[in-house]
Amino acid sequence: MELKALEKETIINTYNRQPETTLLLERGAGVYVWDDAGKRYLDFVSGLAVNNLGHCHPQIVEAICRQARQLMHTSNLYYTEPQIRLAEQLVRHSCAEKVFFCNSGAEANEAAIKLARKYGKVKKGQAAFEIVTAKRSFHGRTLAAVTATGQTKYHQGFEPMVAGFRYAEFNNLQSFKDAVTEQTCAILVEPVQGEGGVYPATPEFLQGLRQLCDEEQLLLIFDEVQCGMGRTGKLFAYQHYNVEPDIFTLAKALGGGLPIGVMAAKGEAAVILQPGEHASTFGGNPVVCAAANTAVSILADADFLKQAAELGAYFQQKLRAINNPNIVEVRGLGLMVGMEIKGDAARAVPLCQDKGLLVNCIGGKTLRFLPPLIVTKADIDTAVSILEEVLSAIA
């Protein structure tokens, strides 16, 4: 049976793939992927911010192969060196004091939610279990994480949602202050909203949340699943804001292409969970941690981050220079960029694909660009040229 037909017969339809337009990708290298017909594409999706170092980075491939030959998995009942080395790297490069390993961003956010509830009960009493999150946010697909997500379209069909979440306006400090009650234990936000349309937080907003949490004895949690690991031009997005969270979560790019999630914490938040209160069978897997150790060592390099920041500024400048009346706004931070256009932005996706450029549409009106951080100015120029043609064609 032809592969796309076999997919339809055997995989639950949660991705709305269309056989006539959805690519069957066979290989990737650097900023490019190739389909089953051998056509090459410039990948400005990057596995949705996973492939920050491009496809099949040779150092990461070597780390995976080396570790896979030595030890592929063991229970977290035992120590493994790759896991400990990765924890040390993350603590050394961040404000965190301790970390918890899992397998995805949703799992990392679930761990943060559980920790926050435990903290609330210990610090403020049994009734302190609510978490305030932002409208237009996205925190994952598990039941608690999707409840934390401030977009009702993701809730439909899965009611009743998990109790204990309140929603406030992103970048509106007063809205968050109004949402805090005696039952609140934490505030959870993305420093840059990703799925919601690529909206960076303002410094005043995040600094105000830090002060609010300090005053009300709340944990401040940053979801850096998409915006972390160099995506914004700094290793962690919070580093742009002169604000340190009590907890932050990572996933996506951390594993260099393999699945991993991390909840990182400091202060009281780092010691609140006790043995038996949370766990993950595959969390901190030796092979994935070996890949992540290599990824972090590359991504944390100051010169690499400086280049990513400069390329992000160059890309946004080139996008803003496109003369097209359908462009509403270009926004972003580093190489996490969104372009809002009038009408149905999704029309541009297959047209870009036909011309050899992979892009993503979110919310029906925003084109999201997440190129690998190893992208060059020449790659950006090519992408912008294609985009300019496509936007003119759909005007």
CB distance 19 to 9 below 8 Å: no
Rounded distance, CA 352 to CA 358, Å? 6
pLDDT band per the 50, 70, 90 thresholds, residue 5: very high
DSSP 138: -
Q: Is 248 annotated as catalytic?
A: no
Mean pLDDT computed over every residue of the chain: 97
pLDDT at 395 over 80: no
Quick one: average pLDDT of 154-164?
Answer: 97
Token code pair at residue 1: 């049976």
Structure tokens at 114: 């559980």
Residues 6+ apart with CB under 8 A from 22: 4
pLDDT at 290: 98
Q: Tell me the C-alpha distance between 329 and 332, whole Å.
A: 10
Residue 383 has pLDDT above 90, yes or no: yes
252 is catalytic: yes
pLDDT in the model for residue 1: 66
Domains of the chain: 3-56+303-393 (3.90.1150.10), 58-299 (3.40.640.10)
Task: Check if the beta carbon of residue 98 is closer than 8 Å to that of residue 264.
Answer: yes
Contacts 24+ apart (CB under 8 A), 126-129: 127/182, 127/183, 128/182, 128/183, 128/184, 128/185, 129/164, 129/183, 129/185
Percentage of the chain beyond pLDDT 90 is: 97
Mean pLDDT of 383-390: 98
Per-residue tokens: 186: 């934490």
DSSP 3-state of 202: coil
Q: Do residues 101 and 259 lie in contact, with contact meaning Cβ atoms separated by under 8 Å?
A: no
* The pair of three-digit structure tokens given for residue 39, joined into one six-digit string: 């056509």
- Using alpha carbons, select from 270, 271, 275 the residue that is nearest to residue 245: 270
Of 138, 165, 176, 248, which is the active-site residue?
A: 138
pLDDT tens for 72-113 read 999 999 999 999 999 999 999 999 999 999 999 999 999 999
Q: How confident is the model at residue 16 (pLDDT cuts 50, 70, 90)?
A: confident
Residue 65 token pair: 């192969």
Q: Is the pLDDT of residue 234 over 90?
A: yes
pLDDT in tens, 24-82: 999 999 999 999 999 999 999 999 999 999 999 999 999 999 999 999 999 999 999 99
State the pLDDT confidence band at 341, using cuts at 50, 70 and 90.
very high
pLDDT at 281: 98
pTM: 0.97
Give 376's pLDDT tier (boundaries 50, 70, 90). Answer: very high
Sheet holding 184-189, edge to edge: 98-102, 261-265, 247-250, 219-223, 184-189, 130-134, 165-168
Catalytic member of 170, 205, 223, 318 = 223
Write down the catalytic residue from 43, 165, 236, 252.
Answer: 252
What are the residues facing 362 on neighbouring strands?
366
Distance, CA of 151 to CA of 257 (rounded, Å): 28
pLDDT in tens, 179-224: 999 999 999 999 999 999 999 999 999 999 999 999 999 999 999 9
Known active-site residue 36 = no
